[in-house]
Each structure stands twice: as structure tokens, then as C-alpha cells.
Amino acid sequence: MKTTMDFPPELGRIDSVPRSILTTGQTPLEPMPNLTKHCGGAQLFVKRDDCTGLAFGGNKVRQLEFYFGAASAENADTILITGAVQSNFVRMAAAAARKLGMTCHIQLEERVVTEDPRYHVSGNVFVDKLLGATLHSYPHGEDESGADRQLGKLAAGLRDAGHRPYIIHLAPGHPPLGSLGYVVAAHELLQQILEIDLPVDEIFVGSGSGATHAGLLFGLRALGSSIQVTGVCVRRDAISQEVRVRNTCHEIATLLDIESKVTDDDIKLIDSFLAPGYGVTNAATSNAIVIGAQTEALILDPVYSGKAIAGLIHQAKLASDSSTFVFVHTGGTPAIFAYQKDIEEALAISDGSSD
């Protein structure tokens, strides 16, 4: 399925990149008056990308529109994808595959050490199974190229058996199709901001692969906006992540055949909520998840959106009440069931009160 949309010429050839529409339209931009009051600093708003509308939603739906566009253009019938055991990306790929009449092979990487048995059976894993994806396991969670090579072997086997596989790669070095979803989202968000004349100073977003962060930043700058985008690191430290985001911005420029307006100074990152590492929560994050739920009824996860909102809360408290921040809620809903133990511990400490 190829869809033509009305994008301004500033976004280059994005209209002509194959895209399978999977989102339900615009996600809401909402004020967060209770969290604003809780922090006592910046005026806070949330872009509800947890409501993108496919099997619990999240940011990956926007990214997958372009991967599935490419897969459909190649007439693929089977999608292969790799990710952490509680990956939201693989869950949504399994969902998108069903919607588009394809099958999905998921490779789950052991990246996280945990004592909670729910991690390997509940949350996203359970949804993957419900969607009928074929699950494979990969033991080396830190070897991105190795994970891709293993997918390549699975794809070769499927091809021999008469299928038409399409691989969604994990490691850098492939066209950043997923980022294009966030170039589109930058256009959408900018229109919403202009409609209500919101004087946004800063946007906060989780920065994992960096596809969301880079796409958003690239799109905003291409459209002439100078709003600061702050990525909250959830996968690797700020120094390594900056390289990723910068490279991805260059790759987007190549893909869209336009010049990048992103400067090195534009890439802002906070990594103080990353510890002890990917997929493992910390006290500030667990506490932020409880605050998000009990002020604005937001469901945030310990791996991504919880760490990102911990960054937002920290910065909002330091800012003056004349500044305006937007939090991009990237989803992760099913993961709360896999991390129930951590969240229950935070609840016990907060004693049911967010103050």
C-alpha cells in the first residue's frame, strides 16, 4: 500500500517513500495541569503517542508504517524483527503484520537480567504469542550485528521454504525508514502547536535506537522550528547516543534528498535516568511512573517512557513557570505487567500518595 499525503516541500521526497498507513490519524496534544502543579515549574503538555492505535499503540507504529511500506513494495509475506524480550517494537510489528495479512518472526534477545518470572512470559511476550508470531531466542543482547546476522539466517531458511521475507534490521547501517515516521510526527505536532499558539520551549522524548529522537529533531528543523528536543537516554550513555542521533540525521537527509538543518548543538541528551542500564528500572523512574499515573492517569513503562518522564519531571522542577515543555509519550503499556514487581515496590514506598 502506498499513500500520498500532503507534506510541504521542506520534507523532500517523503511523499514518494512507500508507507502503509497503520496509525489512526493524529494523536492528541493534551495539557497536564496536575503534573504541572506537582512539579511547580514549567507548563507541561503531553503528545499522546501511546494512542497511535495498533495493539496498545506507541511510537513504533509510526516507524513501522515505513518498514511495512517497504516490505509491501517488495511483495514480502513474512516480517523478521529482533528486540529485547519486552520489546514494544516486535509486539507492534507482529500486530502490523496481522493487519496487512503477513506473518511475523520475532527474535527475542536476552538483554536484561531480572528475578521477576513475569519478564519472560507476561506483558509484550504474551501479546506476541496472542498475535501468533513465531518466537525465536537470541542469547547475546548486546550484539546488534550478531542479532541481525541471525535474522539473516532465519530469512534464508524461510526463503528456501518458499516465503518472501523482509528483515527489519537493528544495527545501524540501513536506511533509517523508522525515523521518517517521526519526521511525519514533527509536522503533525508543529501544526497542533501552531493551532493553539503554544509557546513550546522544549520537547522531551526517550532516546533508544534514536530513530524517534532523530526523526523529530530533523523534521522540526526542516520545517523551520527551533524548539529544543531533549532525548532522555534509555539504552546507552549520552556520548554514544549523540553519535547515533547525529548519524541518523545525516541518513534521513540522504533518504529524503534534502540538506540537514540539524546542527551538532541541536542534539541534547540527558543520561542521568539510564542507570543501572537498559531495561532495568531505578528509584527515580519507578517513582515517576507512580506520579504520572496518579497525576495525569498516564500509563508509563519502566524501560522507556518512565525514564523519559523522570527526565521531564526533573527538568520541569528546575524551570520557571513561564516555560512550556511537551512530553512525547512513546507508549510501552504492556511492559508494566512484565515489570509489575518493580512498580509494586514503588507503590509501597509512595504509600499510594503521589505527593
Ligand X SMILES: *Cc1c(COP(=O)(O)O)cnc(C)c1O
Residue among 19 and 43 whose Cβ is closer to ligand X: 19
C-alpha 334/C-alpha 91 separation (Å) is: 9
How far is CA 338 from its chain centroid?
18
Q: Should residue 281 be labelled a site residue for ligand X when binding is judged by CB under 6 A?
A: no
Which DSSP category does 139 fall into?
A: S
Q: Which range, of 101-109, 136-144, 207-215, 340-348, touches ligand X by CB under 6 A?
A: 207-215
Q: How far is the CB of 133 from ligand X (least distance, A)?
A: 16
**Are 139 and 110 within 8 A, CB to CB?**
yes
Considering 16, 20, 72, 87, which one is annotated as catalytic? Answer: 87
Q: Should residue 225 be labelled a site residue for ligand X when binding is judged by CB under 6 A?
A: no
C-alpha cell at 81: 524483527
Q: Should residue 304 be labelled a site residue for ligand X when binding is judged by CB under 6 A?
A: yes
Q: How far is the CB of 51 from ligand X (least distance, A)?
A: 12
Distance (Å) of CA 329 to CA 19, 48, 305 = 23, 5, 6
Give the number of residues in contact with ligand X, rule: CB under 6 A.
19
Q: Should residue 306 be labelled a site residue for ligand X when binding is judged by CB under 6 A?
A: no
C-alpha 217/C-alpha 175 separation (Å) is: 17
Concerning whether 272 is annotated as a catalytic residue, the answer is no
Q: Should residue 165 be labelled a site residue for ligand X when binding is judged by CB under 6 A?
A: no
Q: Should residue 248 be labelled a site residue for ligand X when binding is judged by CB under 6 A?
A: no
Q: Should residue 89 be labelled a site residue for ligand X when binding is judged by CB under 6 A?
A: yes
Query: What would the x/- binding string for ligand X be over residues 108 to 137, using CB under 6 A?
Result: ------------------------------
Q: Should residue 27 be labelled a site residue for ligand X when binding is judged by CB under 6 A?
A: no
Distance (Å) of CA 66 to CA 176, 271, 313 = 9, 29, 32
Q: CA dihedral defined by 286, 342, 58, 202, rounded to 10 degrees?
A: 10
Q: Should residue 287 be labelled a site residue for ligand X when binding is judged by CB under 6 A?
A: no
Q: Could you say which of 105, 213, 261, 314 contacts ligand X (CB under 6 A)?
A: 213
β 29-31/43-47 pair status: antiparallel
Residue among 88 and 285 whose Cβ is closer to ligand X: 88
Q: Could you say which of 36, 72, 107, 209 contacts ligand X (CB under 6 A)?
A: 209
**Are 199 and 227 within 8 A, CB to CB?**
no
β 78-84/165-168 pair status: parallel
Binding site for ligand X (CB under 6 A): 58-60, 88-89, 206-213, 301, 304-305, 330-332
Return the active site residues: 87
